Amino acid sequence: MKILVTGAAGFIGSSLCEELVRDEKNEVFGIDCFIGPTPTALKDVNVKKLLHHPRFQFRQENLLSVDLPSLLEDIDVVYHLAAIPGVRSSWGKDFDPYVTNNISVTQRLLEASKNKQLKKFIYASTSSVYGEKQGKVSEDLLPEPLSPYGVTKLTGEHLCSVYRESFRVPTVILRYFTVYGPKQRPDMAFHRFIKQIIHDEPITIFGDGKQTRDFTFIDDCVKGTASVLHQDNIIGEIINIGGKERSSVLEIIELLERVSGKQAKKQFQTKVTGEPMHTWADIRKASSLLNYSPQTSLEEGLKKEYEFFSAFYEGGKR
């Protein structure tokens, strides 16, 4: 099967490519234009191992300017992960790149896909589309995003729906809940905390630290995402990809202290506008449709992420 992965040098994208090439039947084509909050040095690390794989090809190009009909030639499945991520930076004058890269790129890719014989077009969305909800969040709840970022990702979902309805583009939407692990983006909390602990800097906590998240380890996330490839009767579905444990920010810091053997210095700052206080994924649909079952405990996942970034930053990276 020939698979295109957009955002292939990113945290989830590169990990997904590594998972997909394990199947000898797959040829994977990755594209990434190296924009967004992840520095080039980390993206280089993300794709380094893949570049030598015989069934992986990579192009560093922008989806806004690349020849999409040529890119999609003979492609069976598209995983569309390319986007500008992050809630904090999506306000004000910084909103324009979100519109361009999250909405316009998605529309352009769907438009190019409508005349192709794709088996699936899988769109990576986010729990940020839900907004603030009580209890476990199921896919049938009304999305009410709290940030411009969430609005752009929800717009991408709607674009997938209208192209499926009007042109039969075989879309499937996955909503990720706070994915963490090795290669995580530097703007995400665990990466920031680990870097600050390694450099003996105060840990920056936005709000009181009592906010909770449903954390999803990267290996579990990509296994669930890759499983979409071979599942029947899921076209048009929206599916949560969440974790097995919820925790507060303060509890995460305690775990990191245990993993690192260091005492963290906490520095509290104003709560971020646009972030919900709590997230909690109902993953029964993923379990039913994808046989999805997250396996990695929070402490085990944090240990793996800490070890990865210890090696990365001790290697001279800042």
What are the structural domain ranges in the chain?
2-180+215-243+280-294
Is 149 a residue of the active site? yes
Encode pLDDT of 65-90 as tens digits.
999 999 999 999 999 999 999 999 99
Give the model's pLDDT for residue 244: 87
Q: What is the pLDDT of residues 114-155, one digit of tens each?
A: 999 999 999 999 999 999 999 999 999 999 999 999 999 999
Query: What is the tens place of the pLDDT at every residue in 201-238?
Result: 999 999 999 999 999 999 999 999 999 999 999 999 99
Between strands 27-31 and 77-80, the pairing is unpaired
Contacting residues for 231 by C-beta, under 8 A, at least 6 apart: 289, 290
At residue 317 the predicted structure's pLDDT band, cuts being 50, 70 and 90, is: low
| pLDDT surpasses 80 at 100 | yes
- Residue 14 has what DSSP assignment? H
What does the buried/exposed string (b/e) look like for 11-20 if buried means 16 or more CB atoms within 10 Å of the residue's CB?
A: bbbbbbbbbb
Q: Residue 166 — pLDDT band, cuts 50, 70, 90?
A: very high
Report the chain's mean pLDDT, rounded to a whole number. Answer: 95
pLDDT of residue 87: 94
- As a whole number, mean pLDDT of residues 238-256 equals 96
pLDDT per residue as tens digits for the range 49-60 = 999 999 999 999
**Hey, what CATH class is 2-180+215-243+280-294 in?**
alpha beta
**pLDDT digit string (tens) for 278-301?**
999 999 999 999 999 999 999 999
* Residue indicated by tokens 């974790």: 243
Which of 98, 149, 180, 306 is labelled catalytic? 149
